Amino acid sequence: PLVSMTEMLKKANAEGYAVGQFNLNNLEFTQAILQAAEAEKSPVILGVSEGAARYMGGFFTVVKMVEGLLHDYKITVPVAIHLDHGSSYEKCVEAIDAGFTSVMIDASHGTFEDNVATTSKVVEYAHAKGVSVEAELGIVGGQEDDVVADGVIYADPQECVELVKRTGIDCLAPALGSVHGPYKGEPNLGFKEMEEIGKSTGVPLVLHGGTGIPTKDIQKAVSLGTAKINVNTENQIASAKTVREVLAAKPNEYDPRKYLGPARDAIKETVIGKMREFGSSNKA
């Protein structure tokens, strides 16, 4: 069933695992992620960036596609449809009105006071409809769709406490050195800050840029309060690699089902691997 992230993430924190947010890019991604979640008996968060929603048609299209698959696949595990990196109050409202069960408001690029004000407004609108809210502090590096950063800014632990207190958000993404897209070398995550922020805010933490983070760092993050880990690039790489392989092996192939079907299987396998690594399998 479609639910918000609130209960999912509380349970994850309490039982010491993380729920994966896997980003949607098209129908096959959505199918693969839902199939993986059901096979693993894992809760799952479907992340939808504004760019990906635009590509697929719009927020309404995304919601109807997910609802259709939940029905046709007889999905029994908890599923959230989450706006990833919402750029404004208006975009969050639009997603919620279309049926999203969760939103992220990414107001971390302006001043702290603006972040508090915008995030509070989103929480007020969202909570009235039972929708969960994630906010961000600091800057995640790299690029994802419209979200571009030329540097990394670590979240300030004091500001994290204040943001949580003043806004009533359900979970917080403190940028602590993670990067969207592949890492250049080993990631260098701020675990000291993560521990402090996890303890002092009392809300589940979110780790963006999940692609390429070593298992030991994932485990450490989970032990310090991380309850949600976002993954996109790793599934995109698995999908693209398979399409290249199939088309290289069969240069005369033109039926999209013959190359997107195998790509879908590759995404499913990747997601299953992540769910096991994050510890969310058999937690639905």
Name residues contacting Zn ion, limited to 192-211 (CB under 5 A): 208
Among 28, 38, 50, 84, binds ligand G3H (CB under 6 A): 84
- Closest CB 235 distance from ligand G3H, rounded Å: 8
Q: Which stretch binds ligand G3H (CB under 6 A): 1-9, 229-237, 254-262, 268-276?
A: 229-237
Size of the residue set binding Zn ion (CB under 5 A): 1
Q: Is 47 in the site for ligand G3H (CB under 6 A)?
A: yes
Among this protein's residues, is 150 annotated catalytic?
no
> Of 171 and 231, which CB lies nearer to ligand G3H in the complex structure?
231
Question: Is 231 among the annotated ligand-binding positions?
Answer: yes
Question: Is 209 among the annotated ligand-binding positions?
Answer: yes
- Closest CB 220 distance from Zn ion, rounded Å: 19
Phi-psi category of residue 135: left, alpha or beta, with phi > 0 → left and psi -120 to 50 → alpha: beta
The pattern of x and - marking residues 251 through 270 that bind ligand G3H according to CB under 6 A reads: --------------------
Q: Is 141 in the site for ligand G3H (CB under 6 A)?
A: no
Question: Is 109 among the annotated ligand-binding positions?
Answer: no
| Helices 256-278 & 27-40 angle (0-180, nearest 10) | 40
Annotated catalytic residue, options 84, 150, 156, 217: 84
Q: Is 180 in the site for ligand G3H (CB under 6 A)?
A: yes
Residue numbers annotated as active site? 84
Q: Which residues bind Zn ion (CB under 5 A)?
A: 208
